[in-house]
């Protein structure tokens, strides 16, 4: 206890304000300045173009069929595409998270509670509270989904509510590799500056030094977090001309067009992908399954993924794969030498015992009943939740 307090004081005292980044002091693979320059100074025409694909929230029997369909797609090297799943606790079927992991996808953290109160909850979290949301979700994924802790490296904040030094401090403390919650409007290929120019999209960078990225949601970090990566969420431009950080926030004019026309969904994706085409800066499809409730939208996405097949240099990847490449950038011709771009083999089943656990009120959430399916033959006595990961404590 006393030791912990001392440590906390020490880490506050040791926090250093991040200074401007000098390329001479910040070298790959461990350090990268925030920049629009191609990593490693490689010629743009020689590098692969990455389409980063992620889904947020619980993995459930409702959304798994679409994920299983998408994972049948392949990249130009013949390997399956890899997606990142930012998983939150509630409603997650951990046996299905396990399946996605064993099929080669990246499992990352999206908090335990995903509480909807941004102003009163997320904006007020201190570092130890962020740490609890982050570390405990990683523990749930490990305990109930049998995902190795060391494979869980990434984080996305609920509502992209970037929590400044408290949040990045917690990620650093928990030994995470990256955050992918930070949207950018200024650093996009399409947002016009007052002088008519475009800044272009940022590549992933580390927080050793001050970031040049604009902060549109949440709080910007001021301290230095050596070796902690930011994979920026470059805003899309929707069909009305406005920005959207997540695909499912994009709107259209006429309103509703993105529900009735798969062409409109395809056009939205294609236009934004094309805006990154000349610089080959990463293009992100960051979304929730719930946006695809309508078959029309699924068709639009399918058309876009079909369209990408025409480009031998375009790879649909997880954030993990993107960062592996950025750390040690190689031309497209040498991509096959990277372990991240070898075809992954489906891992052996480490979830043979499955149990669907049922819990009734009182619960730490508003439901009167909830199910939680886990890789184990025994159910925890109470619903596992924040500060009760093993479900040992009853609720009242
Ligand atoms: C963070 O907030 C919680 C709840 O208010 C409090 O118990 C804890 O001491 C705080 N931790 C730090 C490091 O300030
Ligand atoms: C779903 O898509 C169809 C076209 O396939 C459209 O006619 C319908 O309005 C959409 N449904 C909803 C609920 O938006």
Taking the CB of residue 332, how many other CB atoms lie within 10 A of it? 19
364 within a domain of the structure (yes/no): no
Q: Which of 129, 166, 167 to mutate to test the pocket of ligand 1 (most atoms within 8 A of CB)?
A: 129
215 within a domain of the structure (yes/no): yes
**What are the tens digits of pLDDT across the range 16-35?**
999 999 999 999 999 999 99
Q: Which of 252, 265, 296, 297 to mutate to test the pocket of ligand 2 (most atoms within 8 A of CB)?
A: 296
C-alpha 180/C-alpha 286 separation (Å) is 10
Compute the residue count for the chain: 396
Percent of all residues in the chain with a pLDDT value above 70, rounded to a whole number? 96
Instruction: Give the pLDDT confidence score for residue 1 in this predicted structure.
Output: 41
Q: Does the pLDDT of residue 10 top 70, yes or no?
A: no
Residue 14's pLDDT band (boundaries 50, 70, 90)?
A: low
What is residue 116's DSSP assignment? S
284 within a domain of the structure (yes/no): yes
Please say whether the beta carbons of 54 and 48 come within 8 A: no
Structure tokens at 362: 């009182």
Number of domain units in the chain: 1
**What are the tens digits of pLDDT across the range 107-123?**
999 999 999 999 999 99
At 17 the three-state DSSP class reads strand
Going from the Cα of 297 to the center of ligand 2, the distance in angstroms, rounded, reads: 9
Structure tokens at 42: 């490689």
Going from the Cα of 261 to the center of ligand 2, the distance in angstroms, rounded, reads: 8
40 within a domain of the structure (yes/no): yes
C-alpha 284/C-alpha 307 separation (Å) is 16
Alpha helix positions (H), the chain:
2-14, 64-70, 94-102, 127-145, 164-173, 257-260, 262-275, 295-308, 319-327
Please say whether the beta carbons of 24 and 208 come within 8 A: no
Please say whether the beta carbons of 257 and 264 come within 8 A: yes
395 within a domain of the structure (yes/no): no
Radius of gyration, CA atoms only, the chain: 21
The residues, any chain, with a CB within 8 Å of residue 2's CB and separated by 6 or more, are none
Instruction: Find out whether the beta carbon of 129 lies less than 6 Å from any atom of ligand 1.
Output: yes
Instruction: Find out whether the beta carbon of 128 lies less than 6 Å from any atom of ligand 1.
Output: yes
Going from the Cα of 91 to the center of ligand 2, the distance in angstroms, rounded, reads: 26
End-to-end CA distance of the chain, in Å?
28
Instruction: Give the pLDDT confidence score for residue 2 in this predicted structure.
Output: 54
The residues, any chain, with a CB within 8 Å of residue 30's CB and separated by 6 or more, are 206, 226, 227, 327
3 within a domain of the structure (yes/no): no
Residue nearest to atom 4 of ligand 1 (CA): 129
At 29 the three-state DSSP class reads coil
Structure tokens at 110: 């999206």
Going from the Cα of 85 to the center of ligand 2, the distance in angstroms, rounded, reads: 27
Quick one: average pLDDT of 192-220?
Answer: 97
Angle between the 164-173 and 127-145 helix axes, to the nearest 10 degrees? 40
Residue 69 burial (CB < 10 Å; 0-12/13-18/19+)?
A: exposed
C-alpha 3/C-alpha 215 separation (Å) is 36
CA 97 to chain centre: 15
**What are the tens digits of pLDDT across the range 285-332?**
999 999 999 999 999 999 999 999 999 999 999 999 999 999 999 999
Instruction: Give the pLDDT confidence score for residue 275 in this predicted structure.
Output: 98
C-alpha 380/C-alpha 359 separation (Å) is 10
**What are the tens digits of pLDDT across the range 258-294?**
999 999 999 999 999 999 999 999 999 999 999 999 9
Taking the CB of residue 305, how many other CB atoms lie within 10 A of it? 18
Instruction: Give the pLDDT confidence score for residue 15 in this predicted structure.
Output: 78
Going from the Cα of 125 to the center of ligand 1, the distance in angstroms, rounded, reads: 8
Q: Which of 248, 251, 259 to mutate to test the pocket of ligand 2 (most atoms within 8 A of CB)?
A: 259
Q: Which ligand is nearest to the CA of 12?
A: 1
370 within a domain of the structure (yes/no): no
372 within a domain of the structure (yes/no): no
Residue found by looking up tokens 């016009």 in the block:
192
**What are the tens digits of pLDDT across the range 53-95?**
999 999 999 999 999 999 999 999 999 999 999 999 999 999 9
Name the pTM for this structure.
0.95
CATH number at residue 135: 3.20.20.370
Strand 106-109, strand 84-87: pairing = parallel
C-alpha 11/C-alpha 244 separation (Å) is 36
Quick one: average pLDDT of 373-387?
Answer: 98
CA 242 to chain centre: 22
Residue 255's pLDDT band (boundaries 50, 70, 90)?
A: confident
Residue nearest to atom 1 of ligand 1 (CA): 126
Going from the Cα of 7 to the center of ligand 1, the distance in angstroms, rounded, reads: 14
Q: Which domain holds residue 166?
A: 32-338
Residue 253's pLDDT band (boundaries 50, 70, 90)?
A: confident
C-alpha 129/C-alpha 120 separation (Å) is 13
Structure tokens at 68: 């299983």
C-alpha 282/C-alpha 300 separation (Å) is 20
């Amino acid at each position: 206890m006393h030791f912990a307090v001392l440590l906390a004081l020490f880490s506050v005292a040791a926090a250093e304000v991040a200074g401007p980044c000098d390329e001479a002091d910040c070298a790959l693979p461990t350090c990268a300045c925030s920049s629009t320059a191609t990593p490693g100074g490689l010629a743009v025409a020689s590098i692969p173009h990455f389409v980063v694909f992620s889904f947020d929230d619980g993995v459930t029997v409702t959304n798994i069929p679409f994920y299983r369909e998408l994972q049948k797609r392949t990249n130009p090297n013949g390997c399956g595409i890899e997606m990142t799943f930012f998983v939150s606790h509630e409603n997650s079927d951990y046996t299905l998270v396990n399946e996605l992991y064993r099929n080669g996808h990246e499992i990352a953290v999206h908090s335990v509670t995903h509480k909807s109160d941004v102003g009163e909850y997320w904006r007020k979290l201190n570092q130890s509270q962020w740490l609890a949301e982050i570390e405990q979700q990683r523990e749930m994924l490990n305990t109930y989904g049998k995902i190795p802790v060391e494979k869980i490296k990434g984080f996305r904040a609920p509502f992209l509510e970037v929590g400044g030094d408290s949040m990045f401090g917690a990620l650093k403390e928990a030994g995470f590799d990256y955050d992918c919650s930070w949207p950018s409007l200024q650093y996009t290929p399409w947002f016009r500056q007052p002088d008519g120019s475009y800044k272009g999209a940022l590549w992933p960078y580390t927080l050793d030094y001050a970031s040049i990225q604009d902060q549109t949601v949440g709080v910007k970090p001021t301290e230095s977090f050596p070796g902690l990566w930011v994979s920026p969420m470059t805003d899309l431009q929707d069909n009305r001309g406005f920005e959207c950080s997540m695909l499912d926030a994009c709107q259209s004019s006429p309103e509703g067009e993105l529900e009735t026309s798969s062409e409109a969904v395809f056009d939205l994706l294609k236009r934004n992908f094309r805006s990154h085409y000349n610089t080959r800066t990463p293009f992100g499809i960051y979304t929730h399954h719930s946006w695809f409730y309508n078959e029309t939208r699924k068709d639009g996405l399918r058309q876009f993924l079909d369209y990408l097949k025409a480009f031998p240099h375009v790879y649909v990847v997880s954030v993990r794969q993107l960062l592996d490449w950025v750390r040690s950038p190689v031309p497209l011709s040498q991509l096959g030498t990277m372990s991240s771009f070898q075809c992954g083999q489906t891992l052996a089943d480490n979830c043979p015992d499955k149990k669907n656990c049922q819990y009734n009120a009182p619960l730490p959430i508003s439901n009167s009943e909830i199910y939680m399916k886990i890789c184990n033959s025994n159910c925890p006595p109470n619903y596992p939740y924040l500060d009760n990961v093993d479900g040992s404590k009853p609720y009242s």
